[in-house]
Amino acid sequence: MPDQPFQRIRFEAQDRLAVVTLDRPDRRNALDSLTLAELRAAIARCDADRGIGALLLRGEGPDFCAGADLGELRATVESADDAANRADAMALGDLLIAMREARLPIIAAVHGHALAGGAGLATAADLIVASASAVFGYPEIHLGFVPAMVTVPLRRAVGEKKAFELITLGRRFDAAEAQRMGLVARVFEDDVFAEASLAFGRELAGRSASALELCKRMLYGIDGMTFDQAILHGADINVLARATDDFREGVRRFLERKSR
Protein backbone atom coordinates (compact mmCIF):
# COMPACT_ATOMS: atom_id res chain seq x y z
CA MET A 1 0.00 0.00 0.00
CA PRO A 2 1.51 3.39 -0.93
CA ASP A 3 2.56 5.73 1.81
CA GLN A 4 -0.02 8.31 2.82
CA PRO A 5 1.38 11.64 3.97
CA PHE A 6 0.43 12.67 7.48
CA GLN A 7 1.04 15.93 9.34
CA ARG A 8 0.06 15.03 12.90
CA ILE A 9 1.03 11.36 13.13
CA ARG A 10 3.73 8.98 11.91
CA PHE A 11 2.84 5.62 10.41
CA GLU A 12 5.17 2.63 10.21
CA ALA A 13 4.48 -1.05 9.55
CA GLN A 14 6.86 -3.94 10.05
CA ASP A 15 6.46 -7.65 10.87
CA ARG A 16 2.64 -7.43 10.86
CA LEU A 17 2.64 -4.60 13.42
CA ALA A 18 1.58 -1.08 12.50
CA VAL A 19 2.96 1.64 14.76
CA VAL A 20 1.08 4.95 14.78
CA THR A 21 2.80 7.75 16.69
CA LEU A 22 1.08 10.97 17.72
CA ASP A 23 3.58 13.58 16.57
CA ARG A 24 2.79 16.93 18.17
CA PRO A 25 5.24 16.84 21.09
CA ASP A 26 5.31 20.65 21.31
CA ARG A 27 1.56 20.51 22.08
CA ARG A 28 1.83 17.36 24.22
CA ASN A 29 0.17 15.51 21.33
CA ALA A 30 -3.10 17.39 21.82
CA LEU A 31 -5.98 16.11 19.71
CA ASP A 32 -7.14 18.63 17.13
CA SER A 33 -9.49 17.92 14.23
CA LEU A 34 -6.65 17.05 11.85
CA THR A 35 -5.13 14.58 14.30
CA LEU A 36 -8.49 12.85 14.74
CA ALA A 37 -8.97 12.63 10.97
CA GLU A 38 -5.48 11.22 10.46
CA LEU A 39 -5.99 8.61 13.18
CA ARG A 40 -9.19 7.47 11.46
CA ALA A 41 -7.31 7.28 8.16
CA ALA A 42 -4.53 5.23 9.74
CA ILE A 43 -7.03 2.75 11.20
CA ALA A 44 -8.77 2.42 7.83
CA ARG A 45 -5.40 1.83 6.19
CA CYS A 46 -4.59 -0.96 8.65
CA ASP A 47 -8.02 -2.54 8.30
CA ALA A 48 -7.57 -2.74 4.53
CA ASP A 49 -4.11 -4.32 4.74
CA ARG A 50 -4.36 -8.01 5.65
CA GLY A 51 -0.60 -8.04 6.14
CA ILE A 52 -1.10 -6.03 9.34
CA GLY A 53 -2.20 -7.97 12.41
CA ALA A 54 -2.26 -5.30 15.14
CA LEU A 55 -1.85 -1.56 15.63
CA LEU A 56 0.25 0.04 18.38
CA LEU A 57 -0.64 3.65 19.20
CA ARG A 58 1.94 5.75 21.04
CA GLY A 59 3.01 9.36 21.56
CA GLU A 60 6.17 11.29 20.65
CA GLY A 61 7.91 13.30 23.35
CA PRO A 62 7.35 13.25 27.11
CA ASP A 63 3.61 12.47 27.03
CA PHE A 64 1.22 10.10 25.33
CA CYS A 65 -1.53 12.70 24.91
CA ALA A 66 -2.67 15.60 27.08
CA GLY A 67 -6.20 15.66 25.65
CA ALA A 68 -8.13 17.90 23.30
CA ASP A 69 -6.58 20.95 21.70
CA LEU A 70 -8.30 23.49 23.95
CA GLY A 71 -7.44 26.41 21.70
CA GLU A 72 -9.28 24.81 18.79
CA LEU A 73 -12.12 23.73 21.08
CA ARG A 74 -12.61 27.24 22.48
CA ALA A 75 -12.67 28.76 19.00
CA THR A 76 -15.30 26.26 17.92
CA VAL A 77 -17.47 26.76 21.00
CA GLU A 78 -17.38 30.54 20.64
CA SER A 79 -18.26 30.60 16.94
CA ALA A 80 -20.46 27.55 16.33
CA ASP A 81 -24.12 26.70 16.86
CA ASP A 82 -25.34 23.45 18.44
CA ALA A 83 -25.29 21.55 15.15
CA ALA A 84 -21.71 22.57 14.42
CA ASN A 85 -20.65 21.73 17.99
CA ARG A 86 -22.24 18.30 17.65
CA ALA A 87 -20.39 17.71 14.38
CA ASP A 88 -17.15 18.76 16.05
CA ALA A 89 -17.79 16.43 19.00
CA MET A 90 -18.44 13.55 16.62
CA ALA A 91 -14.96 13.93 15.16
CA LEU A 92 -13.81 12.20 18.34
CA GLY A 93 -16.90 10.02 18.44
CA ASP A 94 -16.26 8.70 14.95
CA LEU A 95 -12.69 7.83 15.94
CA LEU A 96 -13.86 5.90 19.02
CA ILE A 97 -16.35 3.99 16.86
CA ALA A 98 -13.66 3.24 14.26
CA MET A 99 -11.39 1.86 16.98
CA ARG A 100 -14.18 -0.34 18.32
CA GLU A 101 -15.17 -1.62 14.88
CA ALA A 102 -11.68 -2.15 13.47
CA ARG A 103 -11.02 -5.78 12.60
CA LEU A 104 -7.57 -5.75 14.18
CA PRO A 105 -6.66 -5.19 17.85
CA ILE A 106 -5.45 -1.72 18.83
CA ILE A 107 -2.96 -1.30 21.68
CA ALA A 108 -2.34 2.05 23.37
CA ALA A 109 1.25 2.33 24.64
CA VAL A 110 1.00 5.04 27.31
CA HIS A 111 3.92 6.92 28.82
CA GLY A 112 3.99 10.27 30.58
CA HIS A 113 0.52 11.80 30.79
CA ALA A 114 -2.70 10.47 29.27
CA LEU A 115 -5.29 12.99 30.36
CA ALA A 116 -8.85 13.91 29.35
CA GLY A 117 -9.25 13.07 25.66
CA GLY A 118 -5.82 11.46 25.76
CA ALA A 119 -6.97 9.08 28.48
CA GLY A 120 -10.11 8.54 26.44
CA LEU A 121 -8.08 7.67 23.36
CA ALA A 122 -6.16 5.08 25.36
CA THR A 123 -9.35 3.76 26.98
CA ALA A 124 -10.92 3.20 23.55
CA ALA A 125 -8.05 0.91 22.55
CA ASP A 126 -8.58 -2.81 22.98
CA LEU A 127 -5.56 -3.06 25.28
CA ILE A 128 -3.37 -0.59 27.16
CA VAL A 129 0.26 -1.09 28.14
CA ALA A 130 1.84 1.61 30.29
CA SER A 131 5.19 2.75 31.58
CA ALA A 132 5.55 2.59 35.36
CA SER A 133 5.58 6.38 35.64
CA ALA A 134 2.54 6.96 33.39
CA VAL A 135 -0.27 9.12 34.77
CA PHE A 136 -3.92 8.83 33.74
CA GLY A 137 -6.91 11.04 34.44
CA TYR A 138 -10.30 12.25 33.22
CA PRO A 139 -10.13 15.80 34.65
CA GLU A 140 -12.73 17.50 32.44
CA ILE A 141 -14.94 18.24 35.44
CA HIS A 142 -12.38 20.77 36.67
CA LEU A 143 -13.17 22.80 33.54
CA GLY A 144 -16.92 22.43 34.02
CA PHE A 145 -16.88 19.91 31.20
CA VAL A 146 -17.82 16.24 30.83
CA PRO A 147 -15.83 13.35 29.28
CA ALA A 148 -19.09 12.37 27.64
CA MET A 149 -18.17 10.03 24.78
CA VAL A 150 -15.08 8.81 26.60
CA THR A 151 -17.36 7.50 29.37
CA VAL A 152 -18.70 4.88 26.97
CA PRO A 153 -15.49 2.79 26.73
CA LEU A 154 -14.47 3.72 30.29
CA ARG A 155 -17.64 2.25 31.82
CA ARG A 156 -17.09 -0.95 29.86
CA ALA A 157 -13.46 -1.13 31.00
CA VAL A 158 -13.79 -0.52 34.74
CA GLY A 159 -17.48 -0.77 35.65
CA GLU A 160 -20.13 1.80 36.47
CA LYS A 161 -19.16 2.88 39.99
CA LYS A 162 -15.42 3.20 39.30
CA ALA A 163 -16.16 5.14 36.11
CA PHE A 164 -18.46 7.46 38.10
CA GLU A 165 -15.70 8.10 40.62
CA LEU A 166 -13.08 8.81 37.95
CA ILE A 167 -15.16 11.26 35.91
CA THR A 168 -16.70 13.14 38.86
CA LEU A 169 -13.56 13.52 40.98
CA GLY A 170 -11.33 14.07 37.98
CA ARG A 171 -8.30 12.86 39.90
CA ARG A 172 -5.06 11.59 38.43
CA PHE A 173 -3.88 8.04 39.05
CA ASP A 174 -0.76 6.07 38.22
CA ALA A 175 -0.17 3.01 36.05
CA ALA A 176 -0.20 0.60 38.98
CA GLU A 177 -3.67 1.73 40.04
CA ALA A 178 -4.84 1.67 36.42
CA GLN A 179 -3.71 -1.95 36.21
CA ARG A 180 -5.45 -2.86 39.48
CA MET A 181 -8.75 -1.48 38.22
CA GLY A 182 -8.43 -3.46 34.98
CA LEU A 183 -7.80 -0.51 32.68
CA VAL A 184 -4.16 -1.41 31.90
CA ALA A 185 -3.05 -4.87 30.80
CA ARG A 186 0.72 -4.59 31.40
CA VAL A 187 3.04 -2.15 33.18
CA PHE A 188 6.68 -2.00 32.08
CA GLU A 189 9.55 -0.19 33.76
CA ASP A 190 10.36 3.13 32.12
CA ASP A 191 13.82 2.15 30.88
CA VAL A 192 12.47 -0.81 28.88
CA PHE A 193 9.03 0.54 28.02
CA ALA A 194 9.65 1.46 24.38
CA GLU A 195 11.00 -1.94 23.39
CA ALA A 196 8.70 -3.91 25.72
CA SER A 197 5.58 -2.26 24.28
CA LEU A 198 6.77 -3.03 20.75
CA ALA A 199 7.45 -6.64 21.73
CA PHE A 200 3.95 -6.86 23.23
CA GLY A 201 2.50 -5.51 19.99
CA ARG A 202 4.52 -7.92 17.86
CA GLU A 203 3.40 -10.86 19.99
CA LEU A 204 -0.25 -9.97 19.53
CA ALA A 205 0.21 -9.27 15.81
CA GLY A 206 1.72 -12.74 15.45
CA ARG A 207 -1.47 -14.45 16.55
CA SER A 208 -3.95 -15.82 14.00
CA ALA A 209 -5.43 -12.84 12.15
CA SER A 210 -8.79 -14.54 11.67
CA ALA A 211 -8.98 -15.58 15.32
CA LEU A 212 -8.10 -12.07 16.53
CA GLU A 213 -10.80 -10.58 14.34
CA LEU A 214 -13.40 -13.06 15.53
CA CYS A 215 -12.40 -12.65 19.19
CA LYS A 216 -12.98 -8.91 18.89
CA ARG A 217 -16.27 -9.44 17.06
CA MET A 218 -17.41 -11.92 19.70
CA LEU A 219 -16.48 -9.83 22.72
CA TYR A 220 -17.95 -6.55 21.50
CA GLY A 221 -20.89 -8.11 19.69
CA ILE A 222 -22.59 -9.22 22.92
CA ASP A 223 -23.11 -5.67 24.20
CA GLY A 224 -26.78 -5.31 25.06
CA MET A 225 -27.61 -8.97 24.40
CA THR A 226 -29.42 -11.28 26.77
CA PHE A 227 -27.53 -14.38 27.93
CA ASP A 228 -29.38 -16.58 25.42
CA GLN A 229 -28.73 -14.13 22.57
CA ALA A 230 -25.04 -13.98 23.47
CA ILE A 231 -24.77 -17.79 23.43
CA LEU A 232 -26.36 -17.87 19.97
CA HIS A 233 -23.98 -15.14 18.82
CA GLY A 234 -21.11 -17.24 20.18
CA ALA A 235 -22.31 -20.26 18.23
CA ASP A 236 -22.30 -18.18 15.03
CA ILE A 237 -18.74 -17.01 15.74
CA ASN A 238 -17.73 -20.60 16.51
CA VAL A 239 -19.00 -21.71 13.10
CA LEU A 240 -17.08 -18.92 11.37
CA ALA A 241 -13.90 -19.86 13.23
CA ARG A 242 -14.23 -23.52 12.21
CA ALA A 243 -14.23 -22.49 8.55
CA THR A 244 -10.94 -20.56 8.70
CA ASP A 245 -7.68 -21.82 7.25
CA ASP A 246 -5.89 -20.79 10.47
CA PHE A 247 -8.07 -23.09 12.56
CA ARG A 248 -7.71 -26.06 10.25
CA GLU A 249 -3.94 -25.59 10.06
CA GLY A 250 -3.71 -25.13 13.82
CA VAL A 251 -5.59 -28.37 14.47
CA ARG A 252 -3.43 -30.22 11.93
CA ARG A 253 -0.22 -29.03 13.59
CA PHE A 254 -1.48 -29.91 17.06
CA LEU A 255 -2.52 -33.45 16.09
CA GLU A 256 0.75 -34.05 14.29
CA ARG A 257 2.74 -33.02 17.36
CA LYS A 258 0.58 -35.18 19.62
CA SER A 259 1.09 -38.25 17.42
CA ARG A 260 4.89 -38.06 17.55
Sign of CA dihedral 165, 171, 56, 20: positive
pTM of this structure: 0.93
Both 192 and 231 in one domain: the answer is no
| Own/partner long-range contacts of 122-125 (Cβ < 8 Å, ≥24 apart) | 122/57, 122/64, 122/65, 123/150, 123/153, 123/154, 123/157, 123/183, 124/95, 124/96, 124/99, 124/100, 124/150, 124/153, 125/57, 125/99
- Is residue 140 annotated as a catalytic residue, yes or no? yes
DSSP symbols for 159-184: -HHHHHHHHHH--EEEHHHHHHTTS-
186 phi/psi in degrees, rounded to 5: -140, 145
What's the confidence (pLDDT) of residue 171?
A: 98
Per DSSP, the three-state class of 134 is: coil
Q: Which residues contact 20 (CB under 8 A, 6 or more apart)?
A: 9, 10, 11, 39, 42, 55, 56, 57, 58
What's the confidence (pLDDT) of residue 4?
A: 59
Judge whether 2 lies within some domain. Answer: no
Q: 38, 140, 195, 249: which is the annotated catalytic residue?
A: 140
Give bridge partners of residue 55 from the DSSP assignment.
18, 106
Tell me, what CATH number does 15's domain have?
Answer: 3.90.226.10
Helices 70-79 and 82-101 pack at an angle, to 10 degrees, of: 140
Judge whether 58 lies within some domain. Answer: yes
Judge whether 170 lies within some domain. Answer: yes
**Number of structural domains the chain divides into:** 2
Both 30 and 137 in one domain: the answer is yes
Single residue among 180, 205, 230 that ends a domain in this structure: 205
pLDDT in tens, the chain (260 residues): 345 589 999 999 988 999 999 999 999 999 999 999 999 999 999 999 999 999 999 999 999 999 988 888 888 888 878 888 888 889 999 999 999 999 999 999 999 999 999 999 999 999 999 999 999 999 999 999 999 999 999 999 999 999 999 999 999 999 999 999 999 999 999 999 999 999 999 999 999 999 999 999 999 999 999 999 999 999 999 999 999 999 999 999 999 988 87
Both 24 and 148 in one domain: the answer is yes
Both 99 and 165 in one domain: the answer is yes
Both 163 and 49 in one domain: the answer is yes
Both 36 and 123 in one domain: the answer is yes
What's the confidence (pLDDT) of residue 249?
A: 94
Q: Find the domain containing 168 and state its range.
A: 9-205
Both 107 and 227 in one domain: the answer is no
Q: Contact at 8 Å (CB) between 14 and 54?
A: no
What's the confidence (pLDDT) of residue 88?
A: 86
Q: What gap in Å lies between CA 167 and CA 49, rounded to an integer?
A: 37
Q: Which residues contact 121 (CB under 8 A, 6 or more apart)?
A: 31, 57, 65, 95, 108, 114
